[in-house]
């Protein structure tokens, strides 16, 4: 089981328990991993067969979705970066005087860190 599939299973459990704090953090970690796995090639098509459809693709270009599988270590690095980002944002909000938002971000960071610590790859 990869970290991504583990987090997806956790997401279902969090939805059932209606844990909003953990849910936001796990969703963001999943999104960060999926965004890192997906890239888009935007090279215009070079061959045409004369049809309007293909001619339009050549004229306007196209995007092709390419998925690159990440290792568990890379996924864990991205998820840990989400924890760090939340802690940094919490410190910034605290400095600005928005204590409630800072506490929410810190709770999300701790929740995500707990989920990542529980993962056994």
Tell me, yes or no, whether 48 lies in a domain.
no
Tens of pLDDT, residues 17-69:
999 999 999 999 999 999 888 866 555 555 555 555 554 554 455 556 667 78
pLDDT at 68: 79
State which residues form the domain around 12: 3-38+70-118
Total structural domains in the chain? 1
Tell me, yes or no, whether 46 lies in a domain.
no
Tell me, yes or no, whether 103 lies in a domain.
yes
Tell me, yes or no, whether 90 lies in a domain.
yes
DSSP string, the chain: --HHHHHHHHHHHHHHHT-HHHHHHHHHHHHHHHHHHEEEE-PPP----S-HHHHHHHHH---EEEE-PPPHHHHHHHHHHHHHHHHHHHHHHHHHT-HHHHHHHHHHHHHHHHHHHH---
Assign residue 32 the CATH number of its domain. Answer: 1.10.1510.10
């Amino acid at each position: 089981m990869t970290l991504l599939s583990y987090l997806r299973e956790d997401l279902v459990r969090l939805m059932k328990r209606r844990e909003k704090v953990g849910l936001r953090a796990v969703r963001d970690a999943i999104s960060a991993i999926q965004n890192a796995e997906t890239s888009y090639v935007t090279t215009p098509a070079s061959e045409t067969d004369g049809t309007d459809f293909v001619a339009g693709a050549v004229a306007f270009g196209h995007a092709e979705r390419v998925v690159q599988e990440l290792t568990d270590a890379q996924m864990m690095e991205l998820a840990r970066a989400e924890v760090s980002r939340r802690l940094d944002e919490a410190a910034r909000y605290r400095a600005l005087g928005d204590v409630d938002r800072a506490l929410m971000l810190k709770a999300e960071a701790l929740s995500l860190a707990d989920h990542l610590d529980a993962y056994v790859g």
